[in-house]
Amino acid sequence: EVQLLESGGGLVQPGGSLRLSCAASGYTFSSYVMSWVRQAPGKGLEWVSGISGSGDSTYYTDSVKGRFTISRDNSRKTLYLQMNSLRAEDTAVYYCAKDRRCSTTSCSDFDYWGQGTLVTVSS
Amino acid sequence: SSELTQDPAVSVALGQTVRITCQGDSLRSYYASWYQQKPGQAPVLVIYDKNNRPSGIPDRISGSSSGNTASLTVTGAQAEDEADYYCNSRDSSGNHVVFGGGTKLTVL
């Protein structure tokens, strides 16, 4: 059974940093692109970042480029999102999501999602 | 354009058929996927590659695509179909992912 379990969310002040983790199990982790998708309170889904199965290629939405870093440790089957220079508009539930079939660039069909972890940026 | 446009809200009478649409230039090149999200829950993939359902998704949910528009159809809507529905696809560059704004489906 595929499982994705996020952790690391919490309350952080503007300008602060946070690292999210997503522990995967039940499939060959290194074979699939992984993504972070966020959802601000009462708002829609927003793709944040993606990483190839090997970890060699990374992709970011413009609003987080230069502030967020996605990475993965395939030996630990864990996905990360390092978030720096956090802003109020980064407040959201952050989900990790597994690509259904692609290993290099996301094919945008996310077949498994974690339960989400809440990040609140506020003073 | 890298945007996907959805109607914010749609309603359907119990047992009737409803179609939810998603428009965007990237859909001329890439298939849309569709997700169902109920309050307090993570999204669930319901349609991929235009009209394929993951296991466990009822066959009353179907997808189609033409030109720059993808559609999700619920045939014989049930109370449990009431949810937010999101489309997504790759963006025009092919390297990023874009989501539509979501459609709130109400079953009357």
The pLDDT score that the predictor gives to residue A102 is 92
Pick from B35, B96, B100: CB nearest A59: B96
The pLDDT score that the predictor gives to residue B2 is 62
Contact between A49 and A81 (Cβ < 8 Å)? yes
What tokens were used for B43? 């999204």
The pLDDT score that the predictor gives to residue A118 is 98
Please judge whether B89 and A108 are an interchain contact, meaning their C-beta atoms are less than 8 angstroms apart: yes
- Which residues of chain A are under the pLDDT cut of 50? none
Question: How near does any CA of chain A get to the CA of B95, in Å?
Answer: 6
Tens of pLDDT, residues A68-89: 999 999 999 999 999 999 999 9
Question: How near does any CA of chain A get to the CA of B9, in Å?
Answer: 13
Q: Which of A33, A34, A45 to probe by mutation at the B interface, max B CB count within 10 Å?
A: A45
Nearest-Cα residue of chain B relative to residue A61 = B96
Tens of pLDDT, residues B45-104: 999 998 999 999 999 999 999 999 999 999 999 999 999 999 999 998 889 999 999 999
Tens of pLDDT, residues B3-30: 999 999 999 999 999 999 999 999 999 9
3-state class (DSSP) for residue A81 = strand
The pLDDT score that the predictor gives to residue B22 is 98
The pLDDT score that the predictor gives to residue B1 is 44
The pLDDT score that the predictor gives to residue B50 is 82
Nearest-Cα residue of chain B relative to residue A95 = B42
Please judge whether A114 and B42 are an interchain contact, meaning their C-beta atoms are less than 8 angstroms apart: yes
User: Which residues, in sequence order, are CB contacts of B40 under 8 Å at separation 6+?
Assistant: none
Report whether pLDDT(B108) > 60: yes
Question: Pairing between strand B103-107 and B9-12?
Answer: parallel
